[in-house]
Structure 1
């Protein structure tokens, strides 16, 4: 999808760790640390696939599988700026009415259907407004 609209669309990820998940904040920080090594998407995908088994060991295993520099990863996970970013993203998400993840917004409008066709239709409609 991003390839098709690469000139017109930008993907922005916001953190919204759910309080019901004990390791959600830690996982968000780990994903941000992975991003510093250019592996955010891969890391985040593996986090979602392993969300029922999420703990410190799982996060470390994912980082190892992605061949991250582990010393740098462990240091970056504890960057205080990440906590500030997560708090800011969470506030923004709550103001936008987000109740769960993943939530997809296109130009501030919630995408209710997850089909590729619905994505395309909504993106095309928004792009038409700019022409």
Structure 2
């Protein structure tokens, strides 16, 4: 119960910060999106990128995220809502931008969990438990708690996950995604694109409007 109260209280507090971040996001992304890229989609969707959705309408919603990012944790609720409503039409694609102290560790966990088909479970856990292990608002820095939370995921083999985390291909993925972000002028997370078009405002309506424009065009 105490943990639930802490999660709720922390999320409520950082909601105010998120509103401020949204304003910053609009201006920052407009100024940073200066790179001349001939084929944006080739940078956004790589062969190795995690993706989900039936994608019958050939619509890619690409998100640069950082599992340690508080704004990513909050906005994940919007992305989940979008996926629930349009999973048949679209695909969600994940790209990484490791901007925080423990970002690389969390990405290694995610990619190792992916081998066991537990990627979504682990990402959801990281975002839902975020205030307990990585709240920047409350100066929480307890990545070691992630190991405890991982044990709560059914059928996840922790020992195998630890071994798979050592795969050097994960570092290659992180490096390539950062290179792609730099080419596109992306510096912060979450940053989203819909079929190569930058989402200029982090809101429920803005994302749904952009996706629905592609679905019904």
TM class by shorter chain equals 0.7 to 0.9
Does residue 202 of structure 2 align to residue 114 of structure 1?
A: yes
Does residue 130 of structure 2 align to residue 51 of structure 1?
A: no
1:65 to 127, 138, 152: 152
Does residue 86 of structure 2 align to residue 5 of structure 1?
A: yes
Structure 2, unmatched stretches of 5+, are 1-81
Matched residue SS, 1:113: coil
Does residue 123 of structure 2 align to residue 35 of structure 1?
A: no
Instruction: Figure out how many residues of one structure are paired with residues of the other and give that number.
Output: 127
When residues 112 and 102 of structure 1 are mapped into structure 2, their CA distance, relative to the original with a 3 A threshold, is same
Q: Identify which of structures 1 and 2 has the higher relative contact order when contacts are C-alpha pairs closer than 8 Å and 6+ apart.
A: 2
When residues 62 and 95 of structure 1 are mapped into structure 2, their CA distance, relative to the original with a 3 A threshold, is farther
**Greater mean deviation of Cα atoms: 104-113 or 6-15:** 104-113
| Aligned partners of 1:29 and 1:82 also within 8 Å | yes
How far 1:63 moved relative to its partner?
1.7
Larger relative strand fraction: 2
Find the aligned partners of 2:150 and 2:201 in 1 and give their Cα distance.
32
Does residue 186 of structure 2 align to residue 98 of structure 1?
A: yes
TM-score by length of 1: 0.83
Find the aligned partners of 1:10 and 1:54 in 2 and give their Cα distance.
33
How far 1:107 moved relative to its partner?
1.2
Task: Note the aligned Cα RMSD (angstroms).
Answer: 1.9
How far 1:62 moved relative to its partner?
2.5
TM-score by length of 2: 0.53
Aligned to 2:98: 17
